[in-house]
Chain A
Amino acid sequence: MDKQQIAILKKQNKIKDSKTDYVYYGICGFILFLLAVIVIYPLYYIIIASISNADAVMTGDVWLYPIKVTFSGYANLFQRDDIWRSYFNTLAYTALGTVFNVALTIPAGWALSRSYLPFRKLIMAMLIITMFFGGGLVPYVIVCRALGLYQNPLILIIGGGVSVYNVFMCKSFFQSNVPEEVLEAAAIDGAGEIRIFFDLILPIAKSIISVMVLFYAVGHWNNYIDAYIFNIDSQFYPLQTVLNGLLDATASGEGEVVLEQMRLATQIKFTSIIVATVPILVIYPLIEKHFGQGVLVGSFK
């Protein structure tokens, strides 16, 4: 039998989808397509509105495609000092904070994944409890205040330093991705725990490290409320806090002045949303490929 014949036979013997299956696939595809439209449309609308003429946006003419394309909104936005300053603040908080987070989380996950870790059960229990019970907002602020973190931008870097949920995610990653034989071989060769971690474990932990970087970096990037809670000086405001002020702004004044202010405010709302979101939507696809089974599954065990 030649290949063609085999192919034909295979085709004939394949279990065919029934007619109800085609109806099912049709409905299923339609629902998923509709969801995709619902997800995309608001994002699309913000983009087209940010490059359209402000008057057309305010009268609701812009909803399907941009009208009278202009980039004046972006030009106005980049003239503002507070935007630039908060952008750099956020970059600094995100970079330093993420390094701090990952430096605490990855080793902790590794240690918890080893059954010979002394006091393992006790440590696990103490970490799990914090997932369901805590002192609450006010005692947290009191403690941070006692540590001198009130009105101190440092809190924006070290606040939320360890997410127990992420630690457990690392733990299950190491449990399922580190071959025991390699560790035994390393121990026989005389490698100590510290050597094992830095020379053996870190190089194979790239995917979990990148996922952790994404999670924590997004957390820092998107944090707006800590600046209010800890009463941070406005020159140290992160981007999202400044953005919140911009988005809440209402124009005041009279006649043509107020109209002009409204135009400006409207445009800045759309453009600032885009400027604040683009960095995240750019790194997300780079790290998305690591959301494999090994990383996200089993974090509940």
Chain B
Amino acid sequence: MKRQAKFGAPEVLASQACENEAQDKQEHEDLVDQAYEMLDGSMLVDKTKMTKWERWKDNFKRKGWILIFIIPAFIYVLIFCYVPMYGILVAFQDYMPGDQIIGSDTVWVGFENFRIFFSNPNFWDYFKNTFLLCILGFIVGFPLPIIVALLLNSLRSKKVKKGLQILYYAPHFISLVVLVGMLKLIFGSDGLLDQLSIKLGGDVNGLKLFLSPEAFRPLFIFSGNWQDFGWSAIIYLAALSGVDPALHEAAKIDGASRFRRIFSVDLPAILPTIVMLMILSVGNLMNCGYEKVLLMQTSGNLETSEILSTYVYTFGLIGGQYGVGTAAGLFNSVINVVLLVIANFTSKKLTNNSMW
């Protein structure tokens, strides 16, 4: 407006200006309308004045298509994780393989399956075996990756550190069948260890570690750690790489040795990670993986190697006792949930770190 006025006598242009103004306004509004159209009309509404529900609806209209990305995975989880939870009802039924979970011919038996399970003369052995195997595995397997990460992190040569890391990760990818196969070839009957011990003047029959109940837990825990200590150290190494180097330099100037700095600088830095992982592993404490235990079971070591989850597999599933198997599995899961809640509560009280 002002620009136009500059070029002519104001009094002559006054009426024209009014006209122009109206025209300009119209053009401007058209442009704005076009812009709004391009933006889906989403900006026409003043969002600050919308109610929560309206805002949600508006968001859903504009960005709801994102749901399409989560739906397949969500449906999968519903079918393969949540429907089996509903299948826990089988624990209270006399269920025959092939039956519907709830059908016209469902026979409800209350806690009969649990009674059968708890009154099994070996129940306490299975429970004790599960608990010991898992708790010993945790005691050895939890600190080991932390120690390895701290040691690796303190190395001065980046190349050596990287090389060792790659090497330590590698066994993680070996399959359980191969791992147990290797164990048997080395520690089993007529394996390398037996042959070497015979050569060195040991018992001519060899040690036969795979047939002895005492050797089962050490072999299981040792091989498990052999496979996974490097892999588990990754998360700690990543946390350690986030430590500010200035902290180390300050500690160095104060005269702290490298060893001392592990406790004063490194360990405090990864403490939250340690606590979080501890809660997670306590929550899964009673799951020590029946796949590997099954592979390592022999007629000789059943005394220590039969645990709750292998009982679910051999007696419940293969033996066709679905009801009892489900009951035993449920018992195991419930212990896990209780442990998780306890661990989370304790850590909340002690360190203020918690999962929820």
Interface residue tally of chain B, by bracket? 35 or more
Q: Does B302 contact A (CB under 8 A)?
A: no
Interface residues of B in 160-204 (CB under 8 A from A): 164, 166-171, 173-178, 180-182, 184-186, 190, 192, 194-196, 198-199
The answer to whether A164 and B155 touch across the interface, beta carbons within 8 angstroms, is no
Least CB separation from B191: chain A residue: A60
Given contacts A116-B63, A126-B77, A137-B313, contact A243 B181 (CB under 8 A): yes
Interface residues of A in 71-129 (CB under 8 A from B): 103-105, 107-108, 110-112, 114, 116-119, 123, 126-127
Chain B residues engaging chain A, CB cutoff 8 angstroms = 38-39, 56, 59-60, 63-70, 72-74, 76-77, 79-88, 90, 95, 97-98, 100-101, 148, 151-152, 154-156, 164, 166-171, 173-178, 180-182, 184-186, 190, 192, 194-196, 198-199, 226, 229-230, 234-235, 238-239, 241-242, 249, 252-253, 257-259, 273, 276-277, 280, 283-284, 290-291, 294-295, 309, 312-313, 316-317, 322, 325-326, 329-330, 332-333, 336-337, 340
Q: Which residues of B contact A143 (CB under 8 A)?
A: 79-80, 83-84, 87
A291 CA to B162 CA in the complex, in Å? 12
- Residue among A42, A126, A138, A273 with max Cβ neighbours from chain B (10 Å): A138
Least CB separation from B291: chain A residue: A225
A147 CA to B100 CA in the complex, in Å? 12
Contact of A134 among B81, B164, B230 (CB under 8 A): B81
Given contacts A107-B73, A130-B77, A137-B309, contact A273 B182 (CB under 8 A): yes
Q: Which residues of A contact B329 (CB under 8 A)?
A: 135-139
The answer to whether A135 and B87 touch across the interface, beta carbons within 8 angstroms, is yes
The answer to whether A221 and B175 touch across the interface, beta carbons within 8 angstroms, is yes
Main secondary structure, interface of A, reads helix
Given contacts A63-B192, A140-B87, A142-B95, 20 further A-B contacts (CB under 8 A): A32-B164, A39-B171, A40-B167, A42-B226, A108-B70, A108-B73, A117-B70, A118-B64, A132-B284, A135-B85, A135-B87, A136-B88, A137-B329, A138-B329, A139-B87, A141-B317, A142-B101, A143-B84, A225-B294, A244-B295
A288 CA to B231 CA in the complex, in Å? 12
The answer to whether B87 and A296 touch across the interface, beta carbons within 8 angstroms, is no
* 21 A-B interface contacts by CB (under 8 A): A28-B155, A43-B170, A114-B66, A118-B60, A119-B67, A130-B81, A135-B84, A136-B325, A141-B317, A142-B87, A142-B97, A142-B101, A161-B80, A162-B77, A190-B38, A224-B177, A273-B182, A276-B175, A297-B235, A299-B235, A300-B235
A108 CA to B74 CA in the complex, in Å? 8
The answer to whether B176 and A224 touch across the interface, beta carbons within 8 angstroms, is yes
Given contacts A39-B171, A132-B336, A297-B239, contact A273 B178 (CB under 8 A): yes
Q: Does A54 contact B (CB under 8 A)?
A: no
Least CB separation from A119: chain B residue: B67
Least CB separation from A167: chain B residue: B73
Interface size on A, residues (CB 8 A): 95
The answer to whether B83 and A39 touch across the interface, beta carbons within 8 angstroms, is no
Q: Which residues of B contact A117 (CB under 8 A)?
A: 66-67, 70
Given contacts A118-B60, A296-B238, contact A132 B84 (CB under 8 A): no
Given contacts A32-B155, A39-B167, contact A24 B73 (CB under 8 A): no
Q: Which residues of A contact B283 (CB under 8 A)?
A: 132
The minimal Cβ–Cβ distance linking A143 to chain B, given in whole angstroms, is 5
Q: Which of A1-9, A14-22, A253-261 makes up part of the contact surface?
A: A14-22
A263 CA to B164 CA in the complex, in Å? 36
The answer to whether B84 and A288 touch across the interface, beta carbons within 8 angstroms, is no
Q: Which residues of B contact A277 (CB under 8 A)?
A: 174-175, 178
Q: Which residues of B contact A145 (CB under 8 A)?
A: 97-98
Q: Does A192 contact B (CB under 8 A)?
A: yes
Least CB separation from B323: chain A residue: A138
Least CB separation from B193: chain A residue: A60
The minimal Cβ–Cβ distance linking A245 to chain B, given in whole angstroms, is 10
Contact of A300 among B68, B226, B277 (CB under 8 A): B277
Q: Which residues of A contact B68 (CB under 8 A)?
A: 107, 193-194
The minimal Cβ–Cβ distance linking B181 to chain A, given in whole angstroms, is 4
Contact of A25 among B73, B156, B182 (CB under 8 A): B156
Given contacts A31-B151, A142-B90, A277-B178, contact A300 B276 (CB under 8 A): yes
Q: Does A270 contact B (CB under 8 A)?
A: yes
Q: Does A53 contact B (CB under 8 A)?
A: no
Contact of A60 among B170, B199, B259, B332 (CB under 8 A): B199
A40 CA to B80 CA in the complex, in Å? 39
A137 CA to B313 CA in the complex, in Å? 8
The answer to whether B325 and A28 touch across the interface, beta carbons within 8 angstroms, is no
Q: Which residues of B contact A229 (CB under 8 A)?
A: 313, 317
Contact of B80 among A46, A111, A140, A284 (CB under 8 A): A140
